[in-house]
Amino acid sequence: MKPGLHPDYHPVVFQDSSTGDAFLTRSTITSGQTIQWGDGNTYPLVVVEVTSWSHPFWTGARRIMDSAGQVEKFHRRYGQRAGRS
């Protein structure tokens, strides 16, 4: 690799804001926050909203859609249209 061309690729800890779970990986992202990791080293900390620990697809938690409410919303918006002859 050419020197000065590529961004700094270094260890970073990503933490899920909703569950508190964290994992150490490598990234080019920078952060002003740091965290003391289990190996005794201090790493930059990046807090994210969604990870595989909190995403509904990976956790199996699904949103329940109010299908009856969606139908009513459709009828309010478009009304009962006359059938075609």
Residues 7-37 pLDDT 10s:
889 999 999 888 888 999 999 999 999 999 9
The reported pLDDT for the residue numbered 37 is 93
The reported pLDDT for the residue numbered 35 is 94
CB-based burial label for 13 (10 Å; 0-12, 13-18, 19+): buried
CB-based burial label for 82 (10 Å; 0-12, 13-18, 19+): exposed
Closest-CA residue to 22 (of 57, 59, 51, 42): 51
All structural domains of the chain with their residue ranges? 1-60
